[in-house]
Structure 1
Amino acid sequence: MKRVTKTLFLLSTVLLSGCLGTRYLKDGEDLLYKQEIKGTEGLNKEDLYALYRQKPNNRFPFPYYWFYQVGLRKYDTAKIRQKKQRIEYYFLNKIRKARDNERRVKNLNSKKLAKLAVQDRVLEEGNLFMRWGEPLAVYDSLKTEETVSQLNQYLHSKGYFQAVSSYDVKKSGRKISLTYQLTPGTPHRLDSIYYSTQDSAIYKLIQANVKEAILQKGQNYDQRKFSRERDRIDALLKNNGYFGFNKQYIYFNVDTTSGDYGIDTNIVIETPPGEDKHKVFKVDTIKFRTDANIVVPNAKRSTNMYQGIVYEYYKRKFSRRVLNRRVFIKQGDYYSRDNTFKTQRQLANLDMFRFVNINYDTTGGKMIANIVTSPLKKFQTSNEVGINVASQGLPGPFYNVSFKNRNIFGGLETLEFNGRVSIEGVPSGTDVNEVLKSQELSGNFTLTFPQFIFPYGNKLTSRAGLFNPKTRIAVGDIYTNRPDYRRNNLNGSISYSWSNQKNAQFIFTLDEISLINTGNISNAFQDRLDQLEMQGSNLFRSFEPSFVSSMSLLNIYNFNSYGSQNSRAAFLKLFLESGGTTLNFINTDFLEARNLEFYKFLKFNIDYRQLLPISGANTLAYRVNVGIAKSYSDNKVLPYEKYFFAGGSNGIRAWSPRRLGPGAFTPINETTGLFDDRFEQYGEILLESSLELRRNLFGFLDGALFIDAGNIWTIDEEEGRENGKFRIDKFFKEIAVGSGAGLRFDFSFLILRFDAAIKIHDPARPEGSRFIFNKDFNSDVFRNQNLVNYNIGIGYPF
């Protein structure tokens, strides 16, 4: 009891110290405790909050200034400079002794610079505790005045020319509370917009595209839109031959004297000094050098014209026909900046060149487009050692090796071999408390063509070059060895991939074939399959020798680089698969003669995720994942890998991997009469969602609070898994809910994640006893079930 009291006392001290920051203040100082802005109706609050010139200290989940103060006590710049001198002297002596060993001297200099850089960082940013924390927010009245000035400037930029901002200071003890009051007034709007230029060709071009203008009559004045309109006009002209045009030729005359808060806007496009128009360029010649940075003594590059492009090379290695499809600069066309960028991007996507540069020569009044590339190595090998990102079990090590042969047939094809050996912890199929070692060995050969291998016309083939088209033919084998069973999957596929210029990627798999053989099934796992068979389940067929064929379409939309930054971003994945489609049109006797199970099914999955920065270091992330799979073959079963599973470190984290559901099914051990979640649970319908608040705590340590909800269901009622069927009038009562907290250690090269989650609503329990707060939640039947589940993972859960 004394130990608990001490712990609570220490915890209270840390939490309450958020109110005791004033004890670190010097005489005459006050603490900026909180601030707010009023009068923000119709304005972007995030923009306004960014204008604060001083911010209060963060107090959630603990006061960060406390760390800073701890570090400040031990921060002595004189001692740090002395340490730098000692480092200098130490390495100076080492270097003198090793002066005859050039390599040793180089290594010593590198070590010296690294150690000095550490001390320089301490001088500039403080010691580790100071970097973890933040300085005390000592109130500065000058910064308050600066904030008011910034708020006024912002309001003026949004058309509130009569806006007035003020502030009110309230003091309680040594704590300051600030309230900024905005009085925007009536915004000015755009009454008329017209364009002026001496260049009649530019005037016609602008008028032809005026519907795309950013500035429109009736809008409120907004400086950002004026800047965007300048960018639009600049891009319009540079995509229509005006190679030498510059944004500085565009300016705005704004007249606010028309009354009634109206603004007359004249957009002026000037001509060069002494000229009455801007010069328009057409591409006269296109030169493509495929082997820049290569020098062959006493040899000259060959020059060869192919479909309007002059190729230069020592030795012709690449198909000019394929390269032409990735060049969107055309002889005789007006210069286009967009087509230049498209060409550079699509040539880089070929994975054939170290760099792709495009420049234009307008000497003599003619425009020559120079495309300069340098080839990558024909043969490339790589090795990788890492840790699996386990979605259903524990992370484990892996080793990858790959070999790549570029331009293998001369048509910019790539042949690649990938081999992988991995070990990871996976949940046992028969015991939830047991984690099994799963070993996987795989090898895969992939031949990639930089075009669609499909019978269609050359014109369409050239247009497809805009979308980075690829055809992949793959053959591989995956061998999985785990105590429950051994499984071998020999597979082959042909697929087409393409992407748009912004954020969408598409993969259409015309056919994917797998020959699956499962052996060495453990007695416990076989007993489980037999038990399910007696209950009417056909799951055992998924572990018999099988032939699986399917075609699928995968669409991925990535908005604003989801996953690579903490800005507002989103990710959408759509997956549609049809299994056994071709088997509907052929005789399947040859499969039956070989005792091969085959499957016919449909599967659909949609996965949406979004990141929403809300304030400071806080980010809100959420995910919705929905799927359905349906077998229509005679065996009424799916391949085991095609079922949906719930629970685990990337799903409903309060449940063990693959142990949630289906529906309100309650697995009971017939011998003990207790809840029994030894066995994996599979389903054909998935509904899963997560909401997570993420925050940087300090340095490399991030924290998260989360809530997960979802379940899986079967389409048909199963005798051995009662109440597992999806029913439209009951499914919402069968949503499992879990909540918890986690820590993420961000080491830049990987993110190590620890999550602890507790069950809030468990549909396996009887209605009326499903909430954790219910007195019957831990009844005798469920007394052996863990309420808290711990998860270890690599990377974010979504």
Structure 2
Amino acid sequence: MKFFVRNSFLLLGILFTNCLGIRYLKDGESLLYKQEIKGGEDLNREEIASLFRQKSNHQFPIPFVWLHQQGLKAYDTAKIRRKIVAIESRFDKKIAENVDNPRKFNNLNAKKAAKIEAKEKVLEEGNLPMRWGEPLAVFDSVKTKETREQIDRYLHSKGYFHAVTDYSINYKGRKATVVYNITTGQSFKINNIAYQTKDTTIARLLDEKKPESFLKTGKNYEQSAFTAERDRIDILLKDNGYFNFSKQYIVFEVDSLKGNYQLDVLTIVNTPFGESRHEVYQIDTVKFRTDANIVSLNNQRTQQEYNNVIYEYYRKRFSKKVLDSRLFIYPGQTYSRSKTFNTQRQLANLDMFRFVNINYDTTGGRMVANIFASPLKKFQTSNEIGIGINVTEGFPGPFYNMVFKNRNLFGGLEILEFNGRLGVEGLPVTGEQQEIYSSQEISGNFSLTFPQFIVPFSNRIRSSLGTLNPKTRITVGDTYINRPDYRRNNLNGSIGYSWLKNNKQFIFTLDELSLINSSISDEFREELEDRQRQGSNLFRSFEPSFVSSMSLLTNINFNGYGLNNKKAAFLKIFFESGGTTLNLLSQARLDSIFSDLEYYKYIKLNLDFRRTLPVSRQSTLAYRLNLGMAKPYSNNKVLPYEKYFFAGGSNGIRAWRPRRLGPGSFTPLDSANQYDDRFEQFGEIILEASLEIRRNLFGFVDGAFFIDAGNIWTFEEEEDREGGKFEFDSFYKELAIGSGLGLRFDFSFLVLRFDGAFKIYDPARAEGSRFIFNKKFKNEVFDTQDVFVINIGIGYPF
């Protein structure tokens, strides 16, 4: 035993030494083991750490340094350059042989460029082991001094003008730890703010917009606030006609002579040399060239005027009336930078033009706005083949997607689009456990999108709505799903409106109609009939059905959620009213019209809030709260099956298999009184919460630790699912809890995710036995339950 313990510690010591890379140090070198910051408790530690001129190696039990060293041994720049020359020679010969074959000629050139690019990447960044690993962090005292200087400049930028930074180096063996000691002293605060300029018009603008200033009295001096204030004034003036204004005219004078750590700030807006004001520009002419990609020597374009804008083109393709609704610059207006950018943005949002450029010609004392647009192809087809994952189910399968677009169908910038999908996905079997069956999906949808609201608005109102990127969308489609438990065909159509405002997206579906027909397996039919005998109406969700609804979806994105590793949030609010228009008909009339069809009346509300908070340079805290309810009020007392809530799976409570959690404390049992999760569980209420810490491990590999909690419930108690009803005084006891670890492989074009989750608290078990780790993983009832579940997903769970 002693031999085993002694050698285990020896092995760990060797592994730790290899991970740190001490063995690779040369004589006289030390390893930068750690860098610490002491003092300055009110400062942002992560911002200071980002100033370190040297980075220490990861202290993680993966030999990053060893990996880099192995790659370095095989790294031969001369050999790589010879390979590049050989690639060029080989492909140049083939390219020369296929000059008369444009297809092969272009393909060979593309392959040559790709192969050379790959080799040049190795030349610049190193081979794969070098990129996955880390170079040895050899301690450099010069870089330590540079770091101290960087920290001093940072403290100055935060108003700590008397701050002092010192450092100490502690050696332990061949490891060096650097400690930066910060003494901030008292910070300087802004006492008074004043403006100075010869231009009286600018003086008036600055005074009017003073409340919007980034400089506030009583606040600490912040260099970043002065940068933001310079940008604000620059944009303010350019939005009010000062086309040639430059930020170089803005100067700040900061006076600290009053003492008591108080500052007076004077914002000076200078004028051109020898002038008392800056010139304000008025737009004289607006020209819109809709086919700027066509270059002709004679340049004989047709010119037509609409709403004081001159349109130029060789062939009339686009409706000037629709284009005008996306223009916000006109003759007679004062130049505005924001209106120019809005025009460019809204024209680009039409998905009609490859590029849109706007420039101004001020020669001859006149301002001419030139809008140049290059159209996209009228017909566009894209195909996609791959392995996909249905986020509600959880097992990968092949798919094929095809998209066809016909732009400007009727000349009014409409887009006709066809989306086709053929996919095979894996699902937990509804028969024997531990098996997977395939689910096939075939769908086709036609949509016609208009770049405006198709409502009886006046032209003036339509133009005023142009900044919202308004769209009307009409869709018709059919979806066929084939599963061993049921087959379902959904023929649907809808009309809806969408618009954008700042960081908010709105989608209002005025009416969505569906005709649903299902056929079910014998086993599933027996399950439905058994539930029917116990009072459940679920079988009605699989009868031939008619579904009508209207809905409003609002997405609010705070600070670019999902685009980068920064503090951001996302809120989705979804409200749906099913069968609303059916309330206008009497019950007798409804029974007459839908004598052979089930119809539904319901309301549904879903709130989904997500947030990310960086906690270090490499770690992010993310959390999610998902709340929802769906209440049927038609005579059949059921929802369309797709409108129910489901819990479990790779994007929900990950310790439970997809759609197998809940409702409430219901325990699914078979005839032998054993745990039986063959059948999906549905609910009318959902509550989910997730907390996840994400950290970059190395290269494109991230790790995560997560905790999920939640469940689904019903509004009324069901005889066949006892314990599923939501009760305010006990629902918290029925929150399932799971936790686990995950890996994310970020390939830039997609994120492949693996999550392994343990059940911690299972509400399906008897009270007092729900904490699984307090009991045996298995017992007489739950012998067949999976306590550990592996999920595979595409993208982050939230």
Q: Same fold (TM over 0.5)?
A: yes
CA separation of 1:311/1:468 partners in 2, compared to 1, >3 Å: closer, same or farther?
A: same
CA separation of 1:412/1:658 partners in 2, compared to 1, >3 Å: closer, same or farther?
A: same
Bigger drift between 711-720 and 611-620 goes to 611-620
Contact 1:188 1:261 in 2 (8 A): yes
Give the Å deviation of 1:433: 3.0
Q: Give ranges in structure 1 of 5+ residues lacking alignment.
A: none
Q: Give ranges in structure 2 of 5+ residues lacking alignment.
A: none
Distance in 1 (CA, whole Å) between partners of 2:499 and 2:415 is 16
Give the Å deviation of 1:264: 1.5
Matches within 5 A, 1:74-85: 74-77=73-76, 80-82=77-79, 84-85=81-82
Distance in 1 (CA, whole Å) between partners of 2:141 and 2:176 is 11
SS at match of 1:474: strand
Bigger drift between 436-445 and 546-555 goes to 436-445
Matches within 5 A, 1:665-744: 665-670=666-671, 672-744=672-744
Residue 170 (structure 2) aligns with: 170
Contact 1:430 1:528 in 2 (8 A): no
Residue 537 (structure 2) aligns with: 538
Contact 1:18 1:59 in 2 (8 A): no
CA separation of 1:642/1:39 partners in 2, compared to 1, >3 Å: closer, same or farther?
A: same
Residue 632 (structure 1) aligns with: 633
Give the Å deviation of 1:465: 0.7
Contact 2:708 2:738 in 1 (8 A): yes
Residue 475 (structure 2) aligns with: 474
Give the Å deviation of 1:232: 0.6
Give the Å deviation of 1:460: 2.1
Residue 574 (structure 1) aligns with: 573
Give the Å deviation of 1:337: 0.2
Bigger drift between 103-112 and 161-170 goes to 103-112
Distance in 1 (CA, whole Å) between partners of 2:730 and 2:257 is 65
Distance in 2 (CA, whole Å) between partners of 1:118 and 1:17 is 33
CA separation of 1:307/1:424 partners in 2, compared to 1, >3 Å: closer, same or farther?
A: same
Contact 2:20 2:65 in 1 (8 A): no
Contact 2:54 2:144 in 1 (8 A): yes
Matches within 5 A, 1:201-240: 201-240=201-240
Matched, 1:788 2:785: no
CA separation of 1:362/1:724 partners in 2, compared to 1, >3 Å: closer, same or farther?
A: same
Residue 464 (structure 2) aligns with: 463
Distance in 1 (CA, whole Å) between partners of 2:603 and 2:163 is 61
Give the Å deviation of 1:726: 1.3
Distance in 2 (CA, whole Å) between partners of 1:143 and 1:770 is 56
1:344-378 deviations in Å (ceiling 9; x for gaps): 11111111222211111111222111112122222
SS at match of 2:772: coil
1:454-490 deviations in Å (ceiling 9; x for gaps): 1233332221111000111111111112221111111
Distance in 1 (CA, whole Å) between partners of 2:511 and 2:232 is 44
Contact 1:549 1:580 in 2 (8 A): yes
CA separation of 1:646/1:12 partners in 2, compared to 1, >3 Å: closer, same or farther?
A: farther
Matches within 5 A, 1:210-289: 210-289=210-289
1:568-590 deviations in Å (ceiling 9; x for gaps): 33222111111111111124556
Give the Å deviation of 1:682: 0.6
Give the Å deviation of 1:645: 0.5
Q: TM-score when scaled to structure 2? A: 0.94
Distance in 1 (CA, whole Å) between partners of 2:329 and 2:83 is 61
SS at match of 1:782: coil
SS at match of 1:509: strand
Matches within 5 A, 1:250-399: 250-294=250-294, 300-391=300-391, 392-399=393-400
Give the Å deviation of 1:21: 4.0
Residue 662 (structure 2) aligns with: 661
Contact 1:566 1:613 in 2 (8 A): yes
One-letter identity of the residue aligned with 1:653 = R
Bigger drift between 602-611 and 33-42 goes to 33-42
CA separation of 1:418/1:231 partners in 2, compared to 1, >3 Å: closer, same or farther?
A: same
Matched, 1:644 2:645: yes
Contact 1:214 1:228 in 2 (8 A): yes
CA separation of 1:214/1:469 partners in 2, compared to 1, >3 Å: closer, same or farther?
A: same
One-letter identity of the residue aligned with 2:712 = I
Matches within 5 A, 1:617-628: 617-628=618-629
1:72-126 deviations in Å (ceiling 9; x for gaps): 4x2353xx41353366357647856985544788877766665555444444433
CA separation of 1:19/1:433 partners in 2, compared to 1, >3 Å: closer, same or farther?
A: closer
Distance in 2 (CA, whole Å) between partners of 1:275 and 1:83 is 61
CA separation of 1:89/1:390 partners in 2, compared to 1, >3 Å: closer, same or farther?
A: closer
Bigger drift between 597-606 and 608-617 goes to 608-617
Distance in 1 (CA, whole Å) between partners of 2:118 and 2:301 is 51
One-letter identity of the residue aligned with 2:182 = L
Contact 2:46 2:617 in 1 (8 A): no
CA separation of 1:38/1:13 partners in 2, compared to 1, >3 Å: closer, same or farther?
A: closer
Q: TM-score when scaled to structure 1? A: 0.94
Distance in 1 (CA, whole Å) between partners of 2:559 and 2:7 is 45
CA separation of 1:106/1:466 partners in 2, compared to 1, >3 Å: closer, same or farther?
A: closer
Distance in 1 (CA, whole Å) between partners of 2:323 and 2:738 is 54
CA separation of 1:415/1:525 partners in 2, compared to 1, >3 Å: closer, same or farther?
A: same
Contact 1:243 1:280 in 2 (8 A): yes
Distance in 1 (CA, whole Å) between partners of 2:375 and 2:88 is 42
Distance in 2 (CA, whole Å) between partners of 1:420 and 1:595 is 30
Contact 2:695 2:703 in 1 (8 A): yes
Distance in 1 (CA, whole Å) between partners of 2:439 and 2:389 is 14
Distance in 2 (CA, whole Å) between partners of 1:413 and 1:83 is 51
CA separation of 1:143/1:676 partners in 2, compared to 1, >3 Å: closer, same or farther?
A: same
Residue 451 (structure 1) aligns with: 452
One-letter identity of the residue aligned with 1:752 = L
Residue 550 (structure 1) aligns with: 549
Distance in 2 (CA, whole Å) between partners of 1:230 and 1:751 is 39
Matched, 1:30 2:30: yes
The number of aligned residues is: 790
Residue 494 (structure 1) aligns with: 495
SS at match of 1:542: helix
CA separation of 1:677/1:360 partners in 2, compared to 1, >3 Å: closer, same or farther?
A: same
Give the Å deviation of 1:732: 1.5
One-letter identity of the residue aligned with 1:568 = K
CA separation of 1:669/1:740 partners in 2, compared to 1, >3 Å: closer, same or farther?
A: same
Contact 1:690 1:708 in 2 (8 A): yes
Contact 1:290 1:372 in 2 (8 A): yes
Distance in 2 (CA, whole Å) between partners of 1:348 and 1:109 is 31
Distance in 1 (CA, whole Å) between partners of 2:18 and 2:770 is 38
Distance in 1 (CA, whole Å) between partners of 2:298 and 2:116 is 49
SS at match of 1:334: coil
CA separation of 1:702/1:6 partners in 2, compared to 1, >3 Å: closer, same or farther?
A: farther
Distance in 2 (CA, whole Å) between partners of 1:548 and 1:604 is 17
Distance in 2 (CA, whole Å) between partners of 1:589 and 1:789 is 50
Distance in 2 (CA, whole Å) between partners of 1:177 and 1:297 is 70
Residue 485 (structure 2) aligns with: 484
Give the Å deviation of 1:676: 1.1
CA separation of 1:686/1:11 partners in 2, compared to 1, >3 Å: closer, same or farther?
A: farther
SS at match of 1:373: strand
Give the Å deviation of 1:532: 1.2
Distance in 2 (CA, whole Å) between partners of 1:289 and 1:181 is 62
CA separation of 1:351/1:255 partners in 2, compared to 1, >3 Å: closer, same or farther?
A: same
One-letter identity of the residue aligned with 1:543 = F
Residue 610 (structure 1) aligns with: 611
SS at match of 2:526: helix
Give the Å deviation of 1:299: 7.3
CA separation of 1:14/1:572 partners in 2, compared to 1, >3 Å: closer, same or farther?
A: farther
Contact 1:769 1:776 in 2 (8 A): no
One-letter identity of the residue aligned with 2:746 = D
Contact 1:484 1:525 in 2 (8 A): yes
Give the Å deviation of 1:15: 6.2
One-letter identity of the residue aligned with 2:444 = G
CA separation of 1:458/1:100 partners in 2, compared to 1, >3 Å: closer, same or farther?
A: closer
Distance in 1 (CA, whole Å) between partners of 2:122 and 2:297 is 53
One-letter identity of the residue aligned with 1:404 = K
CA separation of 1:354/1:710 partners in 2, compared to 1, >3 Å: closer, same or farther?
A: same
SS at match of 1:638: coil
Distance in 2 (CA, whole Å) between partners of 1:112 and 1:548 is 55
Give the Å deviation of 1:731: 1.5
